[in-house]
Structure 1
């Protein structure tokens, strides 16, 4: 039997390497879409040990012709679109770029898939940020109305509905995963969780004497990227396409993240080291993101394994190993 083939966009980010490892372990031939860098950074795929097992193809989410060429050559069985400008803070500074990648890029991908791989199955990485501050009894599930509060979330809303539209218009197997916050040791340095884990380690090792943050009162439902890629795969193995919230059902504040990270390093009073700067505040805030993944639990049999404290410890330990070296 021929191997299944999968095309993973955004493979050099956080989720891509975890997904590639999962697919390779299941016997897939994995293609990874990378932009036309002169010197691409394979640090994350190296960290997960998958760089040499993935076949990389160059393309651009904002260039429909390049995506058409890739789909014509590969005709994958499964497509995982993880490519995005995913840092919320930057989306106010670069709304046009964010929209071109996150919105139009998805349209171009869907068009290429419809033209050359109409029987392929698509996972579209959506986000819990679509809900904004809307909730039902504090919880956000598939029934909660969307109310995006950033250019990033608005761009993802377009992609969400375009994915649904192609599914309903053309009978294509397209799924949205409304992924709530998920972290790992290869989370980007610009995200607050990694900023905390690496910052705490730098203070512990005497490489820094302070950590500068913005709002620390926000509360999030934090999961582990390695668990969330399993949900992506399960969505595409189900008998029919649908959209799912992927979350842990647990909520913690950024203050709790700080406390857990610093205590891991034997520092009990992080307040001595953390300074606040309003430049890191956002024009609009999402105060609480708390997901209910009961639908994914019942339909896909998916449940998160790693919990909050273990995730924080994992990130701190990895940064301690890196920075000690």
Structure 2
């Protein structure tokens, strides 16, 4: 039996797929919660062989608690939930249920397991910079007051507070406040992948224009595998804490668009971009940029892949996809 037994929710998403690959390479025993109706594609990545799959739903709290009790993991990574701010405006109650209430069930089960087994259980909550969306403090760190501006941010804020509540009860619980982090595994429902896929199609003559919303919003963008590494380091730090995981550098959506076209060899990008009010969120944080000093000092973590390289890797991947389609 492996010394490290891991339970992962959201294992088929961008972060979950990278996390599973990293932990498998380390020899961990991995258990993944998967939806019964989940199909590869549309942002869901197939799980590699060797992963123990458990069908379930984040809306079923008692089943989540029973799964933790049955698996008896040493580490729990909660990466599951509705990950779209825009979708959360359409489904606010569902967002609260699976990105907020589900976390309470998982934390309670982890605490019960720790009390029953007498061994520490590490819990990592994938939080979001959206919990700070309304703050005027730039950059944000672990002491920044929470001020969400969307149902998604509010659900994440509730979960973030719950982590602190259970940490005070002795659980080794960490909330990793992840700033925007991207990769080719993002689905096109995310603006970054929409941009790189659209640019690739424009570069190959398959698409005429890229319709965008707010180009002025500024975000702190990093490379997803770097952020997954931070979560593993947090789980194994020996003490539960909150960590801001970020690059410390912000760029506008306009910067991202320009970098994507540049990576595809197109300089006059403005003529390919149109503004469409349908893609403007009801409330959008003007600038989110994180201060990851605590993660650097206590975990030895830092972002390794810079902004231009993140964008270029995504564009090259999408160009290859378009070319493969013939």
CA RMSD of aligned residues (A): 1.6
1:255 counterpart residue number: 254
Per-residue deviation at 1:322?
1.3
Q: Structure 2 vs 1, CA of residues 40 and 59 (structure 1 numbering), >3 Å: closer, same or farther?
A: farther
CA distance in 2, matches of 1:214, 1:102: 26
After TM superposition, list the pairs within 5 Å mapping 1:139-178 onto structure 2.
Answer: 139-168=139-168, 170-178=169-177
Matched, 1:241 2:240: yes
Matched, 1:23 2:18: no
Q: Give the TM-score normalised by the residue count of structure 2.
A: 0.94
CA distance in 1, matches of 2:267, 2:323: 21
Matched, 1:127 2:128: yes
Q: Deviations over 1:241-272 (max 9, x none)?
A: 10010000111111111111101111111111
1:213 counterpart residue number: 212
Q: Structure 2 vs 1, CA of residues 93 and 43 (structure 1 numbering), >3 Å: closer, same or farther?
A: closer
Aligned partner of residue 311 in structure 1, secondary structure: helix
After TM superposition, list the pairs within 5 Å mapping 1:28-43 onto structure 2.
Answer: 28-37=28-37, 39=39, 41=41
CA distance in 2, matches of 1:296, 1:241: 12
CA distance in 1, matches of 2:45, 2:21: 9
Aligned partner of residue 51 in structure 1, secondary structure: coil
Q: Give the TM-score normalised by the residue count of structure 1.
A: 0.94
Segments of 5+ residues of structure 1 without an aligned counterpart are none
Per-residue deviation at 1:133?
3.5
Given candidates 87, 103, 107, the residue that maps to 2:100 is 103
Kindly indicate whether the alpha-carbon contact (under 8 Å) linking 2:133 and 2:148 is maintained by their aligned counterparts in 1: yes
Aligned partner of residue 49 in structure 2, secondary structure: helix
Kindly indicate whether the alpha-carbon contact (under 8 Å) linking 2:2 and 2:29 is maintained by their aligned counterparts in 1: no
Matched, 1:65 2:66: no
CA distance in 1, matches of 2:145, 2:275: 33
Q: Structure 2 vs 1, CA of residues 39 and 17 (structure 1 numbering), >3 Å: closer, same or farther?
A: closer
CA distance in 1, matches of 2:124, 2:82: 17
CA distance in 2, matches of 1:42, 1:272: 29
Segments of 5+ residues of structure 2 without an aligned counterpart are none
CA distance in 2, matches of 1:316, 1:259: 12
